[in-house]
Structure 1
């Protein structure tokens, strides 16, 4: 079993311990990219605040790479980015990780040799990097498969502290396991994946089908779930592939059905179960 430096269980409060095990439990049941996105945007943000998670794997410093992006930012999707564009970034950070003894480390974006200028001209990922300030990097050493996977967390937070290093060291095995269970996306981007997910009722419900609680539709229930995670209308719209205006309209209907006036009241009311 792995070790948990700086996050040893005796040092965690009951609240932190409960949150930690909730995160682990939710990670165990991740089976799709949508599950992975929800998991990464949920309580994981408490320990690893970030906007973009990039996984890059291949034959160490060889030129053959594969990658996966997980982000709620508009257009920042796996299929909008070519692995070849990541070669300089991967080689730089992989070399640092190996040189440091394969331990997690952090960087300010300005300290990274890789610059996003070229990427910014043709993909949303490159443009989004300009809004990031710090990176958290760790990897999984795969002795069996021989393909180390490097995980790069991009955050708009000015400086991630030591707690982030401890968190990524403790949580990365679960993240890596979850990612390995998720099948690669087809040629369409995540936005198309979300837009067409009505073909698979397990991905999202219809607009009209009601949930058991408070008469909310499946879509309204889904939006309220993102509200509970602290997401704004714009962020929810980006995640679900709909406009912020549509999210706002859904929120109005949610308020009306729950007989509340704001998001805080809606969260509290929904937690009470079905109305009398």
Structure 2
């Protein structure tokens, strides 16, 4: 655990922290994890993009996900999270070598990991994880987890490390709930192709072209807040965590009203 001194919280911060704890317990879907990570969690662990994986941090079958405010290309998602040479795996290797302690690193630190981060426009990142405490039991699945926060603030390093330690169990719990819930849902016999309304389809078309909420609002003559609400509904319907994944999965969309039932996809990529 971190040796950083506990930070001082005022009344409002303590209230927000309690809300962060309480809402983590309720996370069951990917879109709920996205809203929690990019909402209340940001108050204590500000970041641009969150990479996370479930399983043994160095295992080849690590199930991974990207949760980002930024618009990421599929190539970026692959380089961040997929395969033994991904940034997630390299960060996990560094974390293991450092004794499973919460890490904050600048990109000017020597090593291939920070070089790769710099190539992708990351100036500073933090990582921490939950070791797989049951890996020695052959018939039990790995339940470890690992989290990488990209483009974190340059101030209050000690506070950030402390909050990584404090919030790690809640991150692990929320991500595990998503995995368990969606894994069970993937076995349901009745599925359908997700459908979008005409307006949601228009918004997704412009998301696919890389437009921001403000730009889409100007094009469609609606407010950026309305666009944001449409984007959140699209993420839920497509069962994805960010705009890039929504664009990549747009081929699955059917006209509204087509099909019945539920559409659940496994957490694994």
Structure 2 length-normalised TM: 0.58
Provide closer, same or farther for how the CA distance between residues 252 and 157 of structure 1 changes in structure 2, counting only shifts above 3 A.
Answer: closer
Alpha-carbon displacement from aligned partner over 1:61-104 (angstroms, at most 9, x marks no partner): 34333211111222367995375445353443223322322110
Alpha-carbon displacement from aligned partner over 1:3-44 (angstroms, at most 9, x marks no partner): 996337xx4321221110011112111122221111111132
Following superposition, the deviation at residue 171 of structure 1 comes to 0.8
Match of 1:170 among 166, 172, 177: 166
Alpha-carbon displacement from aligned partner over 1:147-192 (angstroms, at most 9, x marks no partner): 532210001534561111111111111111111111459xxxxxxx
Following superposition, the deviation at residue 110 of structure 1 comes to 3.4
Q: Which runs of 5+ in 1 are unaligned?
A: 118-125, 186-195, 200-205, 208-232, 254-276
Query: Which residues in structure 2 correspond to 1:132-147 (within 5 Å)?
Result: 132-144=122-134, 145-147=141-143
Partner of 1:20: 17
Query: Which residues in structure 2 correspond to 1:246-257 (within 5 Å)?
Result: 249-250=222-223
Following superposition, the deviation at residue 57 of structure 1 comes to 4.0
Query: Which residues in structure 2 correspond to 1:197-276 (within 5 Å)?
Result: 234=212, 237=213, 243-245=216-218, 249-250=222-223
Are 1:114 and 2:113 an aligned pair? yes
Match of 1:44 among 32, 41, 61: 41
Provide closer, same or farther for how the CA distance between residues 19 and 7 of structure 1 changes in structure 2, counting only shifts above 3 A.
Answer: farther
Aligned length in residues: 198
Following superposition, the deviation at residue 58 of structure 1 comes to 4.2
Query: Which residues in structure 2 correspond to 1:33-182 (within 5 Å)?
Result: 33-75=30-72, 80-81=77-78, 83-85=81-83, 87-111=85-109, 112-114=111-113, 130-144=120-134, 145-155=141-151, 157-158=153-154, 161-182=157-178
Provide closer, same or farther for how the CA distance between residues 198 and 114 of structure 1 changes in structure 2, counting only shifts above 3 A.
Answer: same
Provide closer, same or farther for how the CA distance between residues 147 and 89 of structure 1 changes in structure 2, counting only shifts above 3 A.
Answer: farther
Alpha-carbon displacement from aligned partner over 1:217-248 (angstroms, at most 9, x marks no partner): xxxxxxxxxxxxxxxx93xx39xxx9243687
Provide closer, same or farther for how the CA distance between residues 60 and 19 of structure 1 changes in structure 2, counting only shifts above 3 A.
Answer: closer
Distance in structure 2 (CA, Å) of the matches to 1:24 and 1:116: 35
Distance in structure 1 (CA, Å) of the matches to 2:225 and 2:39: 23
Partner of 1:31: 28
Distance in structure 2 (CA, Å) of the matches to 1:252 and 1:142: 41
Structure 1 length-normalised TM: 0.57
Contact kept? 1:97, 1:138, Cα under 8 Å: yes
Partner of 1:218: none
Contact kept? 2:56, 2:131, Cα under 8 Å: no
Higher RCO by CA contacts (8 Å cutoff, separation 6 or greater)? 2
Contact kept? 2:60, 2:84, Cα under 8 Å: no
Following superposition, the deviation at residue 114 of structure 1 comes to 2.6
Provide closer, same or farther for how the CA distance between residues 78 and 177 of structure 1 changes in structure 2, counting only shifts above 3 A.
Answer: farther
Distance in structure 2 (CA, Å) of the matches to 1:42 and 1:51: 12
